[in-house]
Amino acid sequence: MSDILGELWDVIIIGGGPAGLTAGLYCARARLRTLLLERGLIGGQATSTDWIENYPGFVEGIAGPDLMLAFHAQAERFGLELKMEEAVELEPEGPYRIIKTGSGVYRGKSVIIASGAHPRLLGIAGETNFYGRGVSYCATCDGAFFQDRVVAVVGGGDAAVEEAIYLTRHVSRVYLVHRRDSLRAAGVIQERAFRNPKITILWNTVMESILGEAQVTAMRVRELKTRQSREIPVDGVFVYVGVDPNTAFVSSILRLNREGYVCTDHNLQTSVPGVFAVGDVRDKDLRQIATAVGDGAMVSTSVERYLASFEQMLDRP
């Protein structure tokens, strides 16, 4: 099989978000032959974030797409190679690690999993039926389509509240639907939401279904304390209730935790030697751009150490 695979990479990175791009920058700068595979937008979820103000070095903040474009350009400057392909399978073959995509097969001495996470679904009636027709998971991507209309945002964390604030640039009103009586977002973000006259918070409330015909026209919500349900006219629903890791393609080969995140040791190595994991896909407490960048920087040292032992192993009789 190895003869068919052709060229050999020192490291193959799966995922082009902040962690993957940082790992690519460090590995390429270390003169490792580095390939990055990305199935969608370079920058991952950070690209769909309107404004990032907690990443060090940008006093007034920076647009998510701009920050990720800079990450990408800097990594490519040092020789990172990029292919827009989706990894569908990871398979060890002797000392090598084989990555299969929809259109090719790649052979690496090591692999870094940086595949990130995807938005979690509410799992209610109408959600999948109206996806792209009023239901969205990216306010930055789709907010402009709802100019002067009424929308709902579901969630109470940083992402939900920040995107509710962002939507007020376009819409006439935002209903923020939150199942608890207090938000989980950072204090400064909450303060901005409370001051914004376009945001109405529905406390202790869950969304039961999304209604409409060709497009979303209303949502049915239930107040948890009174158990009463009602319909509220809305033109769009934006969902921010958490994320799930993109680990389906490695679930049969790597050790995952109960939630499906990849387990790693202190060197960011997974249960398979030569395979590492960084960023939001990894089992850890805090998932932020800053921590993703930290993972990406740290893993390059672990990969270099592994590759040194890899070459010694190949030299043995």
User: What residues act catalytically?
Assistant: 138, 141-142
Task: Give the DSSP letter of residue 312.
Answer: H
Alpha-carbon span 292 to 116, nearest angstrom: 10
Alpha-carbon span 97 to 190, nearest angstrom: 46
32 CB neighbour count, 10 Å cutoff: 20
44 CB neighbour count, 10 Å cutoff: 29
CB 271 within 8 A of CB 254: yes
CB 111 within 8 A of CB 36: no
Q: Is 121 helix (H, G, I), strand (E, B) or coil?
A: coil
Rounded to the nearest angstrom, the gap between the alpha carbon of residue 172 and the centroid of all alpha carbons in its chain is 29
Alpha-carbon span 302 to 166, nearest angstrom: 39
CB 278 within 8 A of CB 296: yes
Instruction: Give residue for tokens 């938000």.
Output: 183
Q: Are strands 229-233 and 243-245 parallel, antiparallel or unpaired?
A: unpaired
